[in-house]
A = this chain, B = another copy of it.
């Protein structure tokens, strides 16, 4: 059973999940023939929690429990955060799902049709809606690891969802900053940022209907790109079917541009959405962060928490705009 531990000094939360060490790694094996996510191999994974039909008797998207979960619902949720003694650890409550994005053995979202990727985004929305109704869960992170250096252990196209009984640190920090800005200025900091990025244009990567993509002003890695809805929305579960199509198209455009600059491209795509019971819907704004993994984190990043980025975000955006998408 996975365990949640809290560093006694810095308060940092860590999930200890020993079963994960045993998970398969198909970057070392034969590819499609042994892939548990390919059509025809469904018996190698747990039963689907949700399946979207391909209209021809098969599935197009499957949601399954992660066989090697970092958190589990099969344990009591304990809220004692205080001690650093071994007895102060607690079971790692939560849920860890895999979203298999295609029955085909493909690796990146540029190999899906825009319609297929829109369907994947709608599955994100539906799973977030599902977990938002579970009182013991406060937040869910949806993310993709593409490529081995981005932490992927299976190459078959998939995303993951980890739902937790607490708001994780990265989201809590954003919410704090956004709330402070809202209290001072009476407006959403993301809406303001968006407006400036659109006006200035020097970090702009692309637009598609109600969505915009730009290189992050304080990007941690070269080519770090954020995708936001232009209209204020705190929860990804507010996404409409039409919006899903525009968002899919913009994401494919951004990844395609990244592929021309970085070969091979490895990246993480991370959905930042408000906590389910969020009381500050006016100050927080959901967004996607695409973080290409070009540089290894080194001792300075671990020891100081300060990233070193060797490419000016304005230059990165220009390179992406000039890339043929």
Instruction: Show the binding face of A for B, using Cβ within 8 Å.
Output: 3, 5-21, 70, 84-86, 141, 143-145, 148-152, 160, 162, 164, 168-171, 173-174, 177-178, 181, 189-190, 193, 196, 200, 202, 216-220, 222, 268-272, 289, 291, 293, 295-315
Are B177 and A10 closer than 8 Å at their CB atoms? yes
- A21 to chain B: closest residue by CB: B310
* B169 and A304 contacting across the interface, CB-CB below 8 Å: yes
Tell me if A173 and B10 are in contact (CB < 8 A): yes
Residues of B within 8 A of A306 (CB): 13-15, 164, 168-169
The listed residue with most B CB atoms (<10 A of its CB), out of A17, A174, A218, A308, is A218
Residue of B nearest to A140 (CB): B304
The interface residues of chain B lying within 8 Å CB-to-CB of A12 are 173, 218, 220, 305, 307
Please give, as numbers and ranges, the residues of chain B lying within 8 Å of A222 by CB-CB distance. 21
The answer on a CB contact under 8 Å between B303 and A170 is yes
8 Å CB contact of A149 from B145, B162, B296: B296
23 contacts between A and B (CB under 8 A): A5-B218, A10-B177, A12-B218, A12-B305, A13-B218, A16-B311, A16-B312, A16-B313, A18-B312, A20-B308, A70-B308, A84-B196, A84-B217, A141-B304, A143-B298, A144-B299, A168-B303, A168-B305, A168-B306, A170-B302, A170-B303, A170-B305, A270-B303
Taken together as a complex, chains A and B put the C-alpha atoms of A308 and B15 apart, in Å, by 5
Which residues of chain B are within 8 angstroms of A14 by Cβ–Cβ distance?
218-220, 306-309
The CA-CA distance from A212 to B58 in the complex, in Å, is 59
A9 contacts which chain B residues (CB < 8 A)?
174, 177-178, 181, 189-190, 193
Contact B300 A21 (CB under 8 A): no
A103 to chain B, nearest CB (A): 23
**Is there contact, CB below 8 Å, between A299 and B16?**
no
Distance (Å) between the CB of A4 and the closest chain B CB? 9
With a cutoff of 8 Å between Cβ atoms, the chain B residues found around residue A272 in the complex are 303
Identity of the chain B residue whose Cβ is nearest the Cβ of A284 in the assembled complex: B9
Most chain B beta-carbon contacts within 10 A, residue among A143, A271, A299, A307? A299
